[in-house]
């Protein structure tokens, strides 16, 4: 197993075994013991569907809550994986909220004092020991600086880093085991998914990184009157403590409060989606956890945004892929959609382009027959993920995280203003991005760089060709062909050969035993022969039963 985490001291290894047993006990208690030996079929991690799946999905959600922060985050990440889980599980996992009972203030205060060298009462003129929010990673407190400014202080819960580190190590073990022993592991790069999840979660534990994220968002939206980002007090911020400007307002889903304040819900909704689309198509850095609790509506309908622990990034290639998908939907061009899918998707086996184009044709025809007001960005993304799954495509994690953020934002928008239609609202943003990517100020530098690269290649090409020909003449050319698919075939052939060998040996033992009983009769044979016969007979029964069981269990 590849170890991407710091080595575990010998005196903590027992705690990892204890945590593994605890995870197994929780799964068994929730009736999910089948997860411990599920090998899966090629579809949706081997989970079932139907009424039984709804009950199992509910128990899975409760089990993740019992297991704590890491597994709650796993559930939240999986809640957008329509390409991996059935609908029943997606529905249940979407209910997961990162809220836990608060920890005693004495333990939290010890963390603060360790980080900043002084107690909160020695730094702030006021500090409320009752948290205004309590999550699995940290707790949030209201305070006031000596100059009278109101702030919020986020403090990491003690012990959470160690638990997360243990859980991530266990998840990495499971991912590597699944990659070698399950069908879903052969179709999807589960270790890569765990790596991406681990990177995101470790970043959430680092409040300095969250502070830097908040600063970047503040710079990105500093001239935007629709969005306000609170500032970070770096002199009171460490890896485990984050101090931010406190923002107040009406919670974005408090419809009665918005109505009482005379705030137009349509304006609030448009500001929310403006925030989402600007992040993706302009800055390429987006808030990856835009649930309603992170938005406070100001008197003019603008939004104050908080909590930048989870952020995602999209490079220009990924943004262009999104644009290409949107253009393919608009034009009903399945060929373009296939190109974008293959550009964005990760696949281990060959994809049948004609079959993929046929399924996308059906999808696009269905979308074209719907009025634009009836289209939901969330439903379109879910349908696309379903098609990707059916053809063995694993969509990049950053694309899935972006889709999850859009779906959460769209869900909140529909609660505030049910007549809102994201597909129609997003069209101008897509057009602006399309024009920007093809504007002279963007294309000319790219063309200049491409020309320079072409010139360098042209100048150096004769020398490279000469070296290649010299190596060819000397017989020094080596070819490295990736034939991973042969490994599976060789493994199956090896298993077949082993079974055949066991069968031959077993048959030989039985025949030899019969011959010995007939031909060989020494004076002391009666006593010794009984023991030999019984031992050989029981061994033959055991190996024969094992061979039959292995054949039947493989269903082949």
Using DSSP's 3-state secondary structure scheme, residue 330 falls into helix
At 191, which helix (H) or strand (E)? Answer: helix 190-204
Place of tokens 């029943």: 88
pLDDT for 305 beyond 90:
yes
Residue 554, CB half-sphere, CA atoms under 13 Å: how many? 10
pTM above 0.75, yes or no: no
How many Å apart are CA 67 and CA 22, to the nearest integer? Answer: 8
Residue whose C-alpha is closest to residue 380's, from 357, 403, 351: 403
pLDDT for 471 beyond 80:
no
136, 98 contact by CB (below 8 A)? yes
pLDDT for 9 beyond 50:
no
pLDDT of residue 12: 45
pLDDT of residue 156: 93
pLDDT band for position 15 (cuts 50, 70, 90):
low
Strands (E), 402-465: none
How many Å apart are CA 306 and CA 315, to the nearest integer? Answer: 24
pLDDT for 339 beyond 70:
yes
pLDDT of residue 4: 40
Give pLDDT tens digits for 30-73: 877 666 555 444 444 555 555 677 888 888 888 888 888 888 88
* Cα angle, residue 248 at apex, residues 244 and 250 outer, rounded to 5°: 140
Tell me the average pLDDT of the chain.
80
pLDDT of residue 480: 64
pLDDT of residue 387: 83
Give pLDDT tens digits for 487-531: 667 777 777 787 777 778 777 777 776 776 666 665 555 666 666
308, 287 contact by CB (below 8 A)? yes
pLDDT for 335 beyond 50:
yes
Ranked by mean pLDDT, the top range of 97-111, 154-168, 371-385 is: 154-168
Percent above pLDDT 90 for the chain: 24
70, 163 contact by CB (below 8 A)? yes
- 424 alpha-carbon distance from chain centroid: 29
Better pLDDT: 41 or 468: 468
pLDDT for 126 beyond 90:
yes
How many Å apart are CA 188 and CA 41, to the nearest integer? Answer: 12
> In the 3-class helix/strand/coil scheme, how is 88-154 assigned residue by residue?
HHHHHHCCCCCCCCCCCHHHHHHHHHHHHCCCHHHHCCEECCCCCEECCCEEEEEEECCCCCEEEEE
285, 217 contact by CB (below 8 A)? yes
Give pLDDT tens digits for 374-388: 677 777 887 887 787
Give pLDDT tens digits for 244-301: 999 999 999 899 999 999 999 999 999 999 999 999 888 888 998 888 889 999 999 9
φ, ψ of residue 154 in degrees (nearest 5)? -100, 130
φ, ψ of residue 153 in degrees (nearest 5)? -120, 120
How many Å apart are CA 382 and CA 403, to the nearest integer? Answer: 9
Q: Which two tokens stand for residue 475?
A: 């017989």
């Amino acid at each position: 197993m590849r170890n991407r985490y710091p080595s575990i001291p010998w005196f903590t290894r027992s705690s990892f075994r204890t945590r593994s047993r605890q995870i197994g006990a929780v799964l068994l208690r929730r009736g999910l013991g089948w997860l411990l030996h599920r090998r899966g079929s090629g579809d949706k991690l081997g989970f079932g569907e139907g009424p039984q799946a709804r009950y199992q999905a509910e128990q899975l959600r409760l089990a993740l809550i019992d297991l704590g922060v890491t597994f709650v985050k796993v559930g939240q990440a999986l809640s957008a994986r329509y390409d991996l889980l059935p609908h029943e599980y997606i529905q249940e996992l979407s209910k997961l909220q990162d809220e836990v009972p608060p920890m005693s203030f004495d333990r939290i205060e010890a963390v603060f004092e360790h980080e900043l060298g002084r107690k909160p009462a020695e730094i702030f003129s006021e500090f409320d020991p009752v948290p205004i929010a309590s999550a699995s990673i940290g707790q949030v407190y209201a305070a006031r600086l000596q100059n009278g400014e109101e702030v919020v202080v986020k403090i990491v819960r003690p012990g959470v880093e160690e638990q997360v580190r243990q859980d991530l190590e266990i998840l990495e073990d499971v991912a590597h085991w699944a990659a070698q022993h399950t069908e879903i592991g052969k179709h999807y790069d589960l270790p890569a998914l765990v790596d991406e999840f681990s990177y995101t979660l470790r970043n959430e534990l680092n409040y300095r990184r969250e502070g830097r994220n908040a600063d970047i968002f503040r710079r990105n939206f500093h001239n935007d009157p629709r969005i306000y980002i609170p500032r970070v007090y770096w002199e009171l911020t460490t890896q485990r403590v984050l101090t931010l400007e406190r923002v107040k307002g009406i919670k974005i889903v408090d419809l009665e409060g918005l109505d009482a304040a005379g705030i137009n819900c349509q304006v609030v909704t448009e500001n929310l989606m403006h925030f989402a689309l600007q992040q993706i198509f302009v800055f390429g850095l987006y808030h990856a956890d835009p649930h309603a609790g992170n938005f406070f509506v100001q008197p003019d309908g603008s939004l104050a945004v908080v909590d930048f622990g989870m952020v995602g990034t999209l490079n220009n290639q990924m943004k262009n892929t999104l644009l290409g998908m949107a253009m393919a939907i608009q034009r009903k061009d399945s060929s373009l959609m296939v190109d974008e899918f293959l550009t964005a998707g990760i696949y281990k086996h060959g994809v049948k382009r004609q079959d993929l184009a046929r399924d996308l044709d059906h999808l696009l025809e269905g979308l074209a027959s719907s009025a634009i007001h009836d289209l939901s960005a969330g439903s379109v993304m879910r349908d696309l993920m379903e098609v990707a799954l059916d053809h063995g495509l694993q969509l990049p994690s950053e694309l899935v995280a972006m889709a999850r953020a859009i779906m959460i934002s769209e869900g909140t928008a529909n609660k505030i203003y049910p007549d809102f239609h994201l597909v129609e609202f997003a069209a101008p943003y897509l057009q602006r991005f399309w024009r920007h990517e093809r504007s002279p100020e963007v294309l000319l530098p790219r063309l200049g760089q491409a020309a320079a690269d072409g010139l360098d290649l042209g100048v150096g090409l004769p020398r490279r060709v000469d070296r290649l020909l010299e190596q060819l003449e000397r017989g020094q050319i080596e070819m490295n062909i990736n034939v991973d698919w042969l490994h599976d075939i060789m493994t199956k052939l090896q298993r077949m050969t082993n079974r055949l060998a066991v069968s031959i040996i077993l048959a030989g033992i039985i025949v030899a035993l019969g011959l010995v009983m007939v031909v060989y009769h020494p004076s002391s044979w009666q006593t010794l022969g009984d023991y030999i016969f019984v031992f050989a007979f029981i061994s033959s029964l055991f190996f024969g039963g094992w061979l039959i069981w292995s054949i039947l269990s493989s269903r082949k």
